[in-house]
Structure 1
Amino acid sequence: MLKVLLITYYWPPAGGPGVQRWLKFVKYFKDFGIEPIVYIPENPTYPLIDESLASEVPAEITILKQPIFEPYRLAEVFSKKSSKTISKGIIAKKEKQSLIQKLLLYIRGNFFIPDARKFWIKPSVKFLQKYISEANIDTIITTGPPHSVHLIGKELKEKLNLKWIADFRDPWTTIGYHDKLKLTKRSIKKHKQLEQEVLTSVDHITVTSYTTKEEFLEITNKPVSVITNGYDTEKVSEVKLDSEFTISHIGSLLSGRNPEKLWQVLYDLTQENDEFAKAFRLRLVGAVSEDVLFSINEAGLSGFLDNKGYVSHKEAIEIQHSSQVLLLVEIDKPETKCIIPGKLFEYMVSKRPILAIGPKDADISRLIRETNSGYFFEYSEESEMKSVILSYFKEFQEGKLIAKTERIEKYSRRTLTKEMSLVLKNLKKKSHRPK
């Protein structure tokens, strides 16, 4: 059994997609000869909580904890609401930001590089250096964001000559919200420097998208593997399909994920088609920015909106299975074409048709096309959106609306864990660390 140490900030009871990737790897690692030890913060400030995920943590694994200093707690002195929304990644448009929000964003962007969890680096290195030596561990994994976690890996690599995998659930300097952090030129330069140091000192890099792999290969000659997120074989209670024509979005809808032309298309359909107006519901599940809610209201859709807020992962899965159509929205910027949300794979396995909107050449369009799980549109393709929504509605009326999804088995969490295990075992074979 190969022992590996996973260093992660997000872990149950944290909610949201950030926790699920490595929770699922850890769940299946022992099936492939990997014994994981998990290192997490003792007192984190998680923006979302989902107690139900704790039941998926294998009882036999070792979990290590050390305290972390969280600046977001200090920020709450100035504005509890602003600090919480920023920590969730919900950033209002520039013209709608209050003075406090602008100040907090500037401080977050320029005083906490690479992120607000930077104060966990030194105590973690000190604690783990001793533990790793005593436990005879020679392979570590860091997963970010937060990218401070990768700096823990970098220091441990330098001190102990470990084999190290850096896993990027999202990119670093090309992430969509970086331009909202009011970064100075000096701060941008520091981010790029730290990113390069991590990418060139690590032994192997894993990423969740094809575009991120291409970006990283321009910076480093270290091997980069695409291991996407995926779906698990969830035990879903028997759920009936909604009697209404529900178009549901599961997950956060940040300010940038605001498809105003889709809202207009949906409103037009309610005005042009009485049967559509009687049956249609727009369901949002998860954190939704005020900008998005304002746009929906301005489009005339408030009477059709069912805004459920954050729900447990279990309930979210049930809603996916009962919805008529599943909506996926990515920010309309070139730098977000690399984002493949974890919910895409859960959408696929729910067998409900997907309506996806994003930037040109987005990686999600490739996956949707390969699996025949729905349709992808660029933001400007409103006439095409309208045509597909009408075709979905017609099938709904006939009781025939279902996704014809295929070739998704390679995205099961167990299959993906096998891929990650092979990366770890190949590293072990190449290890020449003196005993």
Structure 2
Amino acid sequence: MNRRVLFISYAFPPTGGGGVQRAVKFTKYLPQFGWEPTVLTVANPSVPVQDDSLLADVNPNIQIVRARTWEPGYRWKRRFAGSRKSTSEDSIDGSRTAVNWKQSLKGWTRERAMLWMQPDPQVLWNRSAFRVASRVLKRQHHDAVFVTGPPFSSFLLGCDLKRKFGVPLILDFRDEWMLACRYLDNHQHLGDVARRQHAMMLDVLANADAVIATTRASADELGEHCQRAASEVASEVGAGRGVGASVSCIHNGFDPGDIPARSACKANESKRFRLVYTGTLWRLTDIGPFVDAVVRLHELHPELTGRLELVLAGRRTPEQDAVLKPLDRTPVFLLRHDYLPHEEALQLAADADALLLLLSGDEGAERVVPAKLFEYLALKLPVLAICPEGETNELLWKHGREYGLRVDDVVGVANWLAEKIRGLDAGPVECGERDLEPFTRSALTSRLSDVLSGCMDAEQEVR
């Protein structure tokens, strides 16, 4: 008889975006490994994109319950997302006084709201989610509670449920909490807020029975935090040195059934080298170094620049749109899409000559592994990875034949582009895969089932 887990994920279809893939694939494959998930998600998500096509991947046999959130709509969030700014130039420009006043008021309102809504606005979902989860746990026995975040406020919800029902709690960190606190637009970046969120993180880790990260570097850091949190709890009760929650690394991955073949009609009729980037462009995926390299290529080999086609598929911040402006002064063919359904984005990538992967040089980015990396590898196409030394580069070299370049290597990127454009007439290049089976969604879910079962075994030993 299968065990049952309450699977809490704010991000779940029809919500779109990269974070949804992890949750929906786990719930799709968990029954194969002896676990029946009951999914708790939000009824009226305040999110930037929806992707109804992802509903086709939801296991039809699992139970899904939804709770309403009291968050404002995403459009309202974006309206107040700007930070409070004021300059001496603005203050002496009388024609802009009203604009400045509105900007200041918006910034002040945002700061007050964010100081209240900690650790993130989705905390407004927790009260109704707790009520719905409590009804589920009272009605039917569940062997564990699994929570994936962000939003990190869902971890607080998981702790409340553990305190009330005593079930083992597993926390899945899709992103690093403090890295998100530092860089995400919807977080306050003030020192006191960061300290408050760090304390929240230690508290949830002290309550967790197991913790999962998506990179080895994140797992190592979370392991240190878990030990510290357990030791602090132990010292408070006079129990000596505490033992922290177990920490595992379960990477993101790909589902072989999602990977499309190259379109039969794709013969690059335009005779351009097509480079495709899928995903959001924002501070941690800054496209600036690539733009600098294209400008350099145009200066050295203008005849090659006209044969370059750059395709962007995904949301972009206004700052990143501004970074793209220098390309307007080159003959590069630039095609911009907004968010595309997952299957359309994958087909766009499959029809590329090469794929673009970006990570900025900001502190902490070296510990990030973009979720799309594994689908990129499964597509068996050359990957131009512009990123700092770290786990992403290591995975690229170990499991593919891709080319990783530092974010400051403008000349190296320009030379890579020149080589690929010159070799375009030789036909598409397919890279051989190297042991990608551990990154299939089924294999990753098998590892999750081991974590869940380990928590159950530990619980039974205590009893």
* TM score, norm. by length of structure 2: 0.85
Q: Are residues 69 and 5 of structure 1, via their aligned partners in 2, closer, same or farther at CA, if it must alter by over 3 Å?
A: same
* Pairwise CA distance, 1:412: 0.8
* Pairwise CA distance, 1:292: 1.9
State the partner residue of 2:362. Answer: 333
Q: Are residues 109 and 395 of structure 1, via their aligned partners in 2, closer, same or farther at CA, if it must alter by over 3 Å?
A: farther
State the partner residue of 1:223. Answer: 246
Q: Are residues 100 and 321 of structure 1, via their aligned partners in 2, closer, same or farther at CA, if it must alter by over 3 Å?
A: farther
* Pairwise CA distance, 1:333: 1.4
Which has the larger displacement, 266-275 or 347-356? 266-275
State the partner residue of 1:298. Answer: 326
- Letter of the 1:123 counterpart: S
5 Å matches for 1:75-90?
Answer: 76=76, 81-83=78-80, 86=81
Question: 1:6 & 1:208 partners in 2: Cα distance?
Answer: 17
Tell me which of 410, 422, 433 is aligned to 1:394. Answer: 422
* Pairwise CA distance, 1:262: 2.0
- Letter of the 2:206 counterpart: T
Question: 1:247 & 1:95 partners in 2: Cα distance?
Answer: 39
- Letter of the 2:193 counterpart: S
* Pairwise CA distance, 1:271: 4.2
Question: 2:177 & 2:193 partners in 1: Cα distance?
Answer: 13
Contact 1:345 1:411 in 2 (8 A): yes
Which has the larger displacement, 268-277 or 226-235? 268-277
Contact 2:214 2:251 in 1 (8 A): yes
State the partner residue of 1:324. Answer: 353
State the partner residue of 2:235. Answer: none
Structure 1 SS opposite 2:277: strand
* Pairwise CA distance, 1:259: 3.5
Tell me which of 147, 154, 157 is aligned to 1:149. Answer: 154
State the partner residue of 1:192. Answer: 198
Contact 1:325 1:352 in 2 (8 A): yes
- Letter of the 2:10 counterpart: Y
Question: 1:323 & 1:384 partners in 2: Cα distance?
Answer: 21
Contact 1:207 1:227 in 2 (8 A): yes
* Pairwise CA distance, 1:122: 2.4
1:279 aligns with 2:307: yes
Question: 2:24 & 2:83 partners in 1: Cα distance?
Answer: 31
1:41 aligns with 2:46: no
1:246 aligns with 2:243: no
Which has the larger displacement, 5-14 or 254-263? 254-263
1:358 aligns with 2:387: yes
Identity value in percent: 25
5 Å matches for 1:64-75?
Answer: 64-72=65-73
Question: 1:193 & 1:284 partners in 2: Cα distance?
Answer: 38
Q: Which runs of 5+ in 2 are unaligned?
A: 88-99, 227-243
Question: 2:326 & 2:199 partners in 1: Cα distance?
Answer: 43
State the partner residue of 2:236. Answer: none
* Pairwise CA distance, 1:124: 2.1
- Letter of the 2:63 counterpart: T
Tell me which of 112, 115, 118 is aligned to 1:110. Answer: 115
Q: Deviations over 1:243-283 (max 9, x none)?
A: 42011110100145323232122123234335423321111
Contact 2:210 2:247 in 1 (8 A): yes
State the partner residue of 2:260. Answer: 236
State the partner residue of 1:315. Answer: 344
State the partner residue of 1:121. Answer: 126
Tell me which of 379, 403, 407 is aligned to 2:435. Answer: 407
* Pairwise CA distance, 1:238: 5.0
Count of residue pairs brought into register by the alignment = 424
Tell me which of 170, 183, 188 is aligned to 2:189. Answer: 183
State the partner residue of 2:444. Answer: 416
Which has the larger displacement, 376-385 or 136-145? 376-385
State the partner residue of 2:410. Answer: 382
Q: Are residues 94 and 319 of structure 1, via their aligned partners in 2, closer, same or farther at CA, if it must alter by over 3 Å?
A: farther
State the partner residue of 2:93. Answer: none
Contact 2:279 2:313 in 1 (8 A): yes
Higher RCO (CA 8 Å, separation ≥ 6 residues): 1
Q: Are residues 241 and 228 of structure 1, via their aligned partners in 2, closer, same or farther at CA, if it must alter by over 3 Å?
A: farther
Tell me which of 388, 393, 398 is aligned to 1:370. Answer: 398
- Letter of the 1:45 counterpart: S
* Pairwise CA distance, 1:150: 0.6
Contact 2:377 2:400 in 1 (8 A): no
Structure 1 SS opposite 2:179: coil
* Pairwise CA distance, 1:42: 1.3
Q: Are residues 182 and 10 of structure 1, via their aligned partners in 2, closer, same or farther at CA, if it must alter by over 3 Å?
A: closer
Structure 2 SS opposite 1:40: strand
* Pairwise CA distance, 1:81: 4.9
Q: Are residues 196 and 317 of structure 1, via their aligned partners in 2, closer, same or farther at CA, if it must alter by over 3 Å?
A: same
Q: Deviations over 1:385-414 (max 9, x none)?
A: 223222322332322523233221211111
Q: Deviations over 1:322-365 (max 9, x none)?
A: 01111111232121222211111111111111111223x32211
Contact 1:258 1:331 in 2 (8 A): yes
Question: 1:21 & 1:68 partners in 2: Cα distance?
Answer: 22
Q: Which runs of 5+ in 1 are unaligned?
A: none
